[in-house]
């Protein structure tokens, strides 16, 4: 398999017939639809092409394989994630957790995420693609949330930028990890009650969830 066509080589990007933007849209939409109906493992390139009303070659001209295509197709779904402003850190985190969980309930996201991550364990390029297309999109929300909480006076300002980055990363992994694990591995619902308990744990620690009388 060729590494990653994807980006048209810049220098001679002006000559020849230009790529159809219409096709791009149709393919990504078809991919999401197929993902919902069939799941990752039964989704085939040929089927996506047919649904999109496009030739298989047109897919392969843009994406190197199933993984790359699905990452791009699913990435846009994460754009709808926005940080709510409910006036307090607790409320914001709870709402955020619920929104993220709702996204993971959707069948196209469910399978896609884990499958793509699994595939990425063997493929650095794919890992980077996931980071750029999905992970970084979410990480921004943590940074926004912290900034807002600091502005409200709910969190202190961290002087050392390295420590600040570390903390943001840590909190991001804890939130995303817990929600993903609960939803996909434990396979149990993230409901408002769970979100409340989780938020309390996140903000005040394990000792806070079973408060000493």
Cβ–Cβ < 8 Å for 83, 175: no
| 182, HSE (Cβ side, Cα atoms, 13 Å) | 19
Of 12 and 210, the one with the shorter C-beta distance to DNA is 12
The whole-angstrom separation of Cα 66 and Cα 130 is 13
Contact 71, 134 (CB under 8 A): yes
45 makes contact with DNA (CB under 7 A): yes
The residue behind tokens 């402003």 is: 85
User: Is residue 25 within the footprint of DNA (CB under 7 A)?
Assistant: no
Q: Which does 43 bind (CB under 5 to 8 A by kind): DNA, a second copy, none?
A: DNA
Angle, CA 181 vertex, CA 164 and CA 84 arms, to 5°: 55
C-alpha span between 72 and 63 (Å, rounded): 9
Count of residues engaged in binding DNA, rule: CB under 7 A: 29
Span near a second copy by CB under 8 A; candidates 6-14, 75-83, 94-102, 159-167: 159-167
Min dist CB 154 to a second copy, Å, is 9
Q: How far is the CB of 11 from DNA (least distance, A)?
A: 9
What is the nearest approach in angstroms of DNA to the Cβ of residue 187? 22
Partner from DNA, a second copy, none binding residue 61, C-beta < 5-8 Å depending on class: DNA
Give the number of C-alpha atoms closer than 13 A to the C-alpha of residue 25, restricted to the C-beta side. 3
Q: With binding defined as CB under 7 A, does residue 174 bind DNA?
A: no
Q: Are 85 and 182 in contact (CB under 8 A)?
A: no
Considering the complex, state which of residue 64 and residue 96 has its C-beta at the smaller distance from DNA: 64
Residues that bind DNA (CB under 7 A): 1-2, 8, 12, 14-20, 23, 42-47, 53-58, 60-62, 65-66
């Amino acid at each position: 398999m060729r590494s990653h066509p994807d980006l048209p080589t810049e220098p001679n990007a002006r000559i020849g017939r230009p790529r159809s933007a219409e096709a791009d849209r149709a393919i990504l939409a078809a991919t999401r639809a197929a993902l919902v109906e069939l799941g990752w493992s039964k989704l085939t390139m040929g089927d996506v092409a047919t649904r999109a009303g496009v030739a298989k070659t047109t897919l392969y001209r843009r994406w190197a394989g199933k993984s790359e295509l699905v990452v791009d197709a699913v990435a846009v779904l994460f754009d709808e994630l926005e940080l709510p402003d409910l006036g307090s850190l607790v409320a914001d985190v709870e709402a955020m957790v619920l929104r993220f969980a709702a996204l993971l309930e959707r069948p196209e996201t469910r399978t896609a995420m884990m499958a793509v991550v699994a595939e990425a364990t063997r493929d650095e390029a794919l890992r980077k693609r996931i980071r750029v297309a999905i992970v970084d999109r979410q990480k921004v929300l943590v940074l926004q949330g912290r900034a807002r909480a600091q502005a409200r006076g709910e969190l202190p300002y961290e002087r050392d930028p390295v420590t600040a980055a570390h903390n943001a990363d840590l909190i991001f992994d804890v939130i995303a990890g817990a929600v993903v694990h609960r939803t996909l591995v434990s396979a149990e619902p993230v409901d408002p009650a769970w979100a409340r308990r989780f938020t309390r744990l996140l903000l005040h620690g394990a000792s806070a969830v079973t408060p000493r009388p």
